[in-house]
Amino acid sequence: MNFSKNLVLWVIIAVLLAALFNLFQNSSTPRGASSYAYSDFLSEVDAGKVADVTIQGDSINGHFTDGRSFSTYAPPDVNVVPQLRKANVRISALPKSEESQTFWNYVLSWLPMLLVVGVWIFFMRQMQSTGGKAMGFGKSRARLLTEKTGRVTFEDVAGIDEAKQELEEIVEFLKDPQKFQRLGGKIPKGVLLVGPPGTGKTLLARAIAGEANVPFFTISGSDFVEMFVGVGASRVRDMFEQGKKNAPCIIFIDEIDAVGRHRGAGLGGGNDEREQTLNQLLVEMDGFESNEGVILIAATNRPDVLDPALLRPGRFDRQVVVPNPDVLGREKILKVHMRKVPLGPDVEARVIARGTPGFSGADLANLVNEAALLAARAGKRVVTMAELESAKDKVMMGAERRSMVMTEEEKRLTAYHEAGHAIVAVNEVESDPIHKATIIPRGRALGMVMRLPEGDRISTSRAKLKADLAVAMGGRLAEELVFGADKVTTGASSDIKMATDIARRMVTEWGMSDKLGPLTYGENDQEVFLGHSVTTHKNISEATAKTIDEEVRGIVDGAYARARKTLTDQLDLLHVLARGLLEFETLSGDEIRKLLRGEPVIRDLDVDDPGAKSRETPPPPRRSSVPTTGIKPTFGPGAEPQPGS
């Protein structure tokens, strides 16, 4: 609509410019007449070649004796007429067109002012049409969703069945309210969708808009607050007025924590513009005036910072948790995203779902898209399991940086570092199974050992945490045992940071310290501005803080000792695995276990290039040149992925 308006405006401007151009080009000069200098004109008169002339002011038009037309402009000359008469030229005269000259001079004098007024009117109309009205900052920016293309329904939502069921009930209430009102039930006034990023909160709202045959208004929490005082509250009032006019309807506020944050938080105090907006929102949701038929749905991933008055029943009657999907949910989500992707016969969504624990719906959508891009880059017509596995590694571990130049010494050190992680992970009973180990730089890491759990885990045991700590220490210890204490590198920085964080949380949050007992320490250490307080403070004494540090140090030292014992006892396996990594650069979990059992690794195709085109003549099998040993390590189950860089 705006494009058509602008097109018409530019067409009108072009027509006016063309008319002005033609006007100033159009003169009293006859069409097809030649312009002559005045001196040449007099010469032609003396030569007897001029048949007739028409004099109009300082303009002289006429014809030669051969029928050609001419025109010229004459200066004030009283002798021109006698000269024409002497040459027997037929003379005609016309009055000077003063009225037209006066009119256009008048128009030209006012043209700059008219242009300024026209430009001002144009910009005012543009501001009004785009909603950014110069005098209408208080108007709501909620958009009425009427999209027909790209429509989302509940069929497009998978893996979050409980949340979908809660919202399907609201849509059903809007379609058939009598079914619930017969038993005295009332429609919920508000529903708050809570969950981590990427789990499908906004997608659920879009599905409601696609399913409900009622007006659906959508707005972001940040749209309420502007630089002008009172604008947010005014927009809230205007939004609910629009809702009442279109009742029954649904209003969706995305990222409501931008406007619904706990009052008194931050430095703004009671005069904060955000607080005025929140107060108006509270009144509109459940105040003296009723909002029958207006359902408010909001989404946030920070429910801890929302004001308690906003969360009470009567405002948000329901809080629907949208968690990360389990293995069955991930399988359903993958099938939804695979609908528009041509798949090879070897693709199994269940296998991918088992290998992607902790992935959100957005992560899975990104995984399928990355696999499609890899297949297109390789010139394939379908997406196979190889592309999906490669895309999974890219999402979990980062993109490969094969162009990064590493010296042989750095490669060898990285190989032993990752082999140390892998050896300890294989021998720790509570550790997760190894998915893949690589010394190809990925993301910000020079190498990585990726472990994947065998199933979804709701909670983590103390034994599992200790196993993870030992695995984290394995990389640094392998460097120390093989190259010496003076040759250890900064490559273990992320491992040390992760181990310190886990150990500290074991002591201060999870009550896993025998000396300090099941108590929580440092509960007020959350970030300023995000919680309820302006400043942080410690609620522990100096002696307790010292004890906490000692306990954290003791837990990390214990993990270090466990890893040292494992690697010292299996130093020959460490060398075997490191040589395997140097030869193949990337090893799968099965290949690692083969090497540790003394079996050779045989490959038909390069596993590092799953997107490579199949060769017409298969290459000979590739047998590992790594010397093997018959020592068998202890194997055990595992749980969540931890990169060891």
pLDDT digits (tens, 9 = 90+) for 538-587: 678 888 889 999 999 999 999 999 999 998 998 888 888 888 888 888 88
* More confident call, 462 vs 453: 462
In this prediction, residue 506 carries a pLDDT of 92
In this prediction, residue 97 carries a pLDDT of 58
CATH code, domain carrying 489: 1.20.58.760
**Residues 314 and 342 reside in one and the same domain:** no
**Residues 68 and 188 reside in one and the same domain:** no
**Residues 346 and 376 reside in one and the same domain:** yes
**Residues 302 and 195 reside in one and the same domain:** yes
Q: Is residue 49 part of a domain?
A: yes
Q: Is residue 267 part of a domain?
A: no
Number of domains in the chain: 4
In this prediction, residue 644 carries a pLDDT of 42
23: confidence class by pLDDT, cuts 50, 70, 90: low
479 a catalytic residue: no
Q: Is residue 242 part of a domain?
A: yes
**Residues 420 and 348 reside in one and the same domain:** no
| Contact call for residues 572 and 631 (beta carbons, < 8 A) | yes
Tokens of 480: 């120390």
Size of the chain, expressed as the number of residues it contains: 645
- When pLDDT is averaged across residues 320-325 and rounded to a whole number, the result is 87
636: confidence class by pLDDT, cuts 50, 70, 90: very low
**Residues 369 and 450 reside in one and the same domain:** no
**Residues 78 and 171 reside in one and the same domain:** no
From 353, 362, 330, select the one nearest 159 (Cα to Cα).
Answer: 330
From 465, 419, 461, select the one nearest 439 (Cα to Cα).
Answer: 419
Selecting among 418, 430, 479, 480, the annotated active-site residue is 418
Q: Is residue 468 part of a domain?
A: yes
Distance CA(307)–CA(295), nearest Å, equals 19
In degrees rounded to 5, what are phi and psi of residue 590?
-65, -40
Work out whether strand 50-56 and strand 59-64 pair parallel, antiparallel, or are unpaired: antiparallel
Tokens of 22: 């033609």
Domain boundaries, position 285? 143-262+272-321
pTM for this structure?
Answer: 0.64
* More confident call, 274 vs 493: 493
Cα atoms in the Cβ-side hemisphere of radius 13 Å centred on 389: 15
pLDDT digits (tens, 9 = 90+) for 220-234: 877 777 656 667 778
In this prediction, residue 24 carries a pLDDT of 55
**Rg of the Cα trace of the chain?**
41
Q: Which of 19-28, 121-130, 385-394, 589-598 has the lowest mean pLDDT?
A: 19-28
600: confidence class by pLDDT, cuts 50, 70, 90: confident
Q: Is residue 643 part of a domain?
A: no
In this prediction, residue 499 carries a pLDDT of 92
In this prediction, residue 42 carries a pLDDT of 82
CATH code, domain carrying 66: 3.30.720.210
CATH code, domain carrying 196: 3.40.50.300
Distance CA(200)–CA(301), nearest Å, equals 11
Domain's final residue, options 321, 342, 360: 321
Distance CA(636)–CA(333), nearest Å, equals 30
From 451, 449, 473, 499, select the one nearest 644 (Cα to Cα).
Answer: 449
From 410, 357, 346, select the one nearest 582 (Cα to Cα).
Answer: 410
**Residues 451 and 381 reside in one and the same domain:** no
Amino acid at 469: L
In this prediction, residue 528 carries a pLDDT of 43
**Residues 180 and 229 reside in one and the same domain:** yes
Q: Is residue 508 part of a domain?
A: yes
Name residues whose C-beta falls within 8 Å of residue 276's C-beta, 6 or more positions apart in sequence: 229, 230, 232, 233
pLDDT digits (tens, 9 = 90+) for 523-543: 544 444 444 444 455 678 888
- DSSP letter at 634 equals -
**Residues 374 and 498 reside in one and the same domain:** no
Q: Is residue 332 part of a domain?
A: yes
Residue 303: asked if its preceding bond is cis (omega within 30°), the reply is no
**Residues 240 and 179 reside in one and the same domain:** yes
Helix (H, G, I), strand (E, B), or coil: what is residue 569?
helix
**CA angle, 539 then 544 then 550, to 5°:** 135
Q: Is residue 529 part of a domain?
A: no
Distance CA(450)–CA(398), nearest Å, equals 11
Q: What is the mean pLDDT of the chain?
A: 77
In this prediction, residue 226 carries a pLDDT of 66
Return the percent helix, strand and coil in the chain, to nearest 5. Answer: 50, 10, 40
**Helix/strand/coil (H/E/C) assignment for every residue in 53-95:** EEEECCEEEEEECCCCEEEEECCCCCCHHHHHHHCCCEEEEEC
In this prediction, residue 69 carries a pLDDT of 85
pLDDT digits (tens, 9 = 90+) for 246-286: 878 888 888 888 888 887 755 554 456 777 888 888 888 87
**Residues 190 and 158 reside in one and the same domain:** yes
